[in-house]
Amino acid sequence: MASLPEQAVRPRPRTQAPQARTRWVERVEPYLYLAPSLALLAIFTFYPIVRSIYLSLFLTDPLGRPRVFVGLAHYANSLTTSFLQSMGVTLLFVLYTVPVGLLLGLALALLAHQPLRGTRLFQLIFSSPLAVSAAIGSTIWVMLLNPVSGIVNYLLGLLGIGPVHWLTDPRWALPAVGMVSIWLRLGFNFVLMLSALQNVPDELLEAAVVDGAGFWAKTRHITLPMISPTLFFAAVVGVIHAFQVFAEIDIMTAGGPSNATNTVVYRIYQVAFRQYEFGAASAQAILLFIVMVVLTYLQFRLGERRVHYQ
């Protein structure tokens, strides 16, 4: 009987299993590092979104427990009630605060970026609103805008201007809250713009000076295109923040007078925690989320074309 060749009888070395195990570990290891962050996102972001969508389809009891399935009724009611008015107030608030905040932060950053004596002091002063919380800043401005004892009306009186009821007059309430919001965001916009200006290559500015360009020509043709990514980022973040404003409204006007400052987020808060209609509030929150996604998409589609990336 012929014997099998020795090479056929000899067992092959078992190297495939360790290699497969190594590849499996390499694939799984990154997700293990991401697991804590993914767990936090799942608990505090994804689950609340899913829960809000679920609650928006039900009538709830005062404890937020779903009782009666109503389908899309809450969404339909939101589009025919004062929710649309609150959305209009919010859009007006965005128009008041975002462009002015960006322009003011850019102007102060350009001023503080100049090679002058005392620039460090100005940088400290301009960035100081970063250290003030929205609650404390709003409380301070409530006292400053007091129609009787506030320093703002006192200074206007020195100029011969009568007292202005900043927070109780529907014509002035939203601009007044917008002014406070701009001040609270000024430090963030200033630091962001200043850091972008410091990254503009000096060689480009020196070449422009050699060619005879002045300050405004350098700013328009060199500085603004070079910091356009930062401007675009600040605009997107500013719009999102303006849509989510709450502390200033709650402390300064509580949505009044005559709903002149009743923004969408504050209305959702009222519906949920004062009227205890958690289903309706969840539906309005989902609608707000959709509006913010659409606006952010439009910003990227329309604004990113003019962004100059190095």
**pLDDT tens digits for range 71-92:** 999 999 988 778 889 999 999 9
Each residue's pLDDT tens digit, 132-153 = 999 999 999 999 999 888 999 9
Q: Where are the alpha helices (DSSP H) in the chain?
A: 6-9, 16-41, 47-55, 73-78, 83-112, 119-127, 134-144, 151-158, 170-198, 202-210, 215-218, 224-226, 228-243, 247-252, 264-273, 278-303
Whether pLDDT at 192 is above 80 = yes
* Residue 193 pLDDT: 94
Between 213 and 229, residue with greater pLDDT: 229
Each residue's pLDDT tens digit, 258-283 = 899 999 999 999 999 999 999 999 99
* Residue 162 pLDDT: 83
Whether pLDDT at 232 is above 50 = yes
Once rounded to an integer, what is the mean pLDDT over residues 100-124?
A: 89
* Residue 1 pLDDT: 46
**pTM of the predicted model as reported, rounded to 2 decimal places:** 0.85
* Residue 106 pLDDT: 94
Residue type at 35?
Answer: A
* Residue 3 pLDDT: 52
Q: Which of 120, 113, 98 is nearest to 231 (CA)?
A: 98
* Residue 64 pLDDT: 86
Once rounded to an integer, what is the mean pLDDT over residues 32-54?
A: 91
